[in-house]
Amino acid sequence: MVGRSRIERCSVCGMRMLVLPLASTVQCHACHSTTRLHGPRESATDGRSQPDPVRHVRGWLRGLFSSNAASVSGSFGGSSTRNRNLTYGDNGGSARDWPASFPTTRAKKRAVLIGVSYSSRLYELKGTVNDVNCMRYFLSEKFQFPKHSILVLTEEESDPDRMPTKENIRAAIRWLVRDNEAGDSLLFHFSGHGLQKLDLSGDEVDGYAETLCPLDYEEKGVIVDDEINATLVRPLRQGAKLHAIIDSCHSGTVLDLPFLCRMSRGGFYQWEDHTPRSSEFKGTSGGLAICISGCDDSQSAQDTPTLSGSVPTGAMTYSFIHVAETDPGTTYGRLLGNMRSIINGADAQHLGFTGPIASFMKRVLSYGIKQEPQLSASEMFDIYRKPFLL
């Protein structure tokens, strides 16, 4: 999602960072170097600004030494998740490895819904809590998810254990996947900011790891796709199914799933093999994981009232619920295609134009919503034959 901030690259390692509009300097959470800013520059999301490869190497070396230091000290701060030897999320904990206030009854259908507003900050988002409330109603009323098995984390919760902090999000993921078994249908929804950072492990096709930004990411660090894969994807057992609905920037491969579906504007599709070049396993333990994300890794997702008419929502969350509700029995291919159509036509609808004139106005007025929801999975399938089921 896009707030009032902008994205800049670290001058040393090239990591993409969220920068406050009036900031003159920014410190990189990856290599801890300080970059001096000279006013708004070209956005890192448009793909034209590329970091210096020499600085990439310098940043990688600095990040390597920082990771080793974090491993020795046992710190889990902003840079510690770069070290692949760390245990993500304390997976080997007790039978109940989450706060006592989390739901004690976990049905066959259960969900974790997270909306991060970053309240009172310059990059605050207005639609994330609306996204969560809509998703909660949608799941319980349309797909029979029991209300007592839907765990919500937002800044409007009175329970401190249900604030969308980094550790609470980690605990919520453990709650969701612990002891999953055949017949379970799990859903993970995140609405908030997402960033990219330089990949230090060599397993990213584009050289960047995708991340989610918890409420306290400036102090505790982001949640990296490697960790999300290890804690949310890999524990899925035979017969269990996970859907991840991720409404954030740079979220195309945020679950690090092995296969990414590339769909053309004409509806033709092709699966890309994103199996890492390293030997690290990125699939499940026999289950099925499917991620529907707000945009490609190089794109931004929108927080806007345009689609709903007045209430701010995430464009991706709104289009997902709208299509799934109005087209019962839809396939994954139709779901993805119709979501893209809704988002691409949002600015023309807002102006009141339809038909050929709407397409013309969209080309002339180049401020429309520009994001393409993506589909990735732990296995390949025919997207026009496989029905979308939660």
Q: What percent of the chain has pLDDT over 90?
A: 50
**pLDDT tens profile 202-255:** 677 777 889 999 999 999 999 999 999 999 999 999 999 999 999 998 888 899
| Cα–Cα dist 303/294, whole Å | 11
Q: 362 and 236 in one domain?
A: yes
Alpha helices, H only, 83-241: 128-142, 166-177, 217-220, 225-228
User: Residues 331-337: what's their mean pLDDT?
Assistant: 96
Residue 224 lies in a domain: yes
State the chain's mean pLDDT as an integer. Answer: 77
**pLDDT tens profile 151-192:** 999 999 999 999 999 999 999 999 999 999 999 999 999 999
What confidence category does residue 22 fall into, taking pLDDT thresholds of 50, 70 and 90? Answer: low
Burial of 116 (0-12, 13-18, 19+ CB in 10 A): buried
* Per-residue model confidence (pLDDT) at position 172: 97
Q: 159 and 126 in one domain?
A: yes
Q: 31 and 121 in one domain?
A: no
Q: Is 193 annotated as catalytic?
A: yes
* Per-residue model confidence (pLDDT) at position 350: 42
| Cα–Cα dist 2/277, whole Å | 32
Q: 161 and 51 in one domain?
A: no
Q: Which of 31, 249, 261, 291 is catalytic?
A: 249
**Higher confidence at residue 238 or residue 25?**
238
**pLDDT tens profile 41-61:** 333 333 333 444 444 444 444
Q: 369 and 235 in one domain?
A: yes
Q: Which of 16-20, 143-147, 177-181, 368-372 has the lowest mean pLDDT?
A: 16-20
Strand partners, 271: 261
pLDDT higher than 80, residue 26: no
Domains identified in the chain, total number: 2
User: Residues 114-120: what's their mean pLDDT?
Assistant: 95
| Cα–Cα dist 272/258, whole Å | 8
| Cα–Cα dist 195/212, whole Å | 7
Nearest alpha carbon to residue 76 among 214, 206, 210, 179: 214
Q: 116 and 66 in one domain?
A: no
CB 58 within 8 A of CB 13: yes
| Stated pTM of the model | 0.72
Q: CB-based contacts of 82: which residues, under 8 Å, 6+ apart?
A: 30, 63, 66, 67, 70, 200, 224
- Tell me the residue ranges of DSSP E strands in the chain: 6-9, 16-19, 25-27, 34-36, 109-115, 150-154, 185-191, 194-198, 208-212, 223-224, 241-247, 259-263, 269-273, 288-293, 303-304, 313-314, 374-377
* Per-residue model confidence (pLDDT) at position 200: 74
* Per-residue model confidence (pLDDT) at position 222: 94
| Cα–Cα dist 23/390, whole Å | 43
**Higher confidence at residue 153 or residue 364?**
153
Q: 104 and 59 in one domain?
A: no
Residue 84 lies in a domain: no
User: Residues 328-332: what's their mean pLDDT?
Assistant: 94
Q: 187 and 146 in one domain?
A: yes
Residue 283 lies in a domain: yes
Q: CB-based contacts of 195: which residues, under 8 Å, 6+ apart?
A: 7, 16, 17, 18, 210, 211, 213, 222, 249, 250
Residue 119 lies in a domain: yes
149: left (phi over 0), alpha (psi -120 to 50) or beta: alpha
* Per-residue model confidence (pLDDT) at position 298: 80
Residue 330 lies in a domain: yes
Q: 125 and 28 in one domain?
A: no
369: left (phi over 0), alpha (psi -120 to 50) or beta: beta
Q: 208 and 128 in one domain?
A: yes
Domain boundary among 75, 109, 130: 75
Residue 70 lies in a domain: yes
Instruction: Please report, for the domain that includes residue 312, its CATH number.
Output: 3.40.50.12660
Residue 31 domain boundaries: 6-75
Q: Which of 78-82, 182-186, 290-294, 380-384 has the lowest mean pLDDT?
A: 78-82
Q: 173 and 115 in one domain?
A: yes
* Per-residue model confidence (pLDDT) at position 295: 87
Residue 81 lies in a domain: no
Q: Which of 29, 193, 243, 250 is catalytic?
A: 193
Nearest alpha carbon to residue 317 among 105, 117, 131: 131
pLDDT higher than 70, residue 13: no
Q: 111 and 44 in one domain?
A: no
Q: Count CA atoms within 13 Å of residue 176 on its CB side.
A: 33
User: Residues 94-119: what's their mean pLDDT?
Assistant: 89
Q: Is 249 annotated as catalytic?
A: yes
Q: Beta 109-115 vs 185-191: how paired, if at all?
A: parallel
**pLDDT tens profile 296-324:** 778 877 766 656 566 788 889 999 999 99
Among 164-173, 255-264, 271-280, top mean pLDDT goes to: 164-173
For the chain, how far is it from start to end, CA to CA, in angstroms? 25
User: Residues 80-84: what's their mean pLDDT?
Assistant: 25
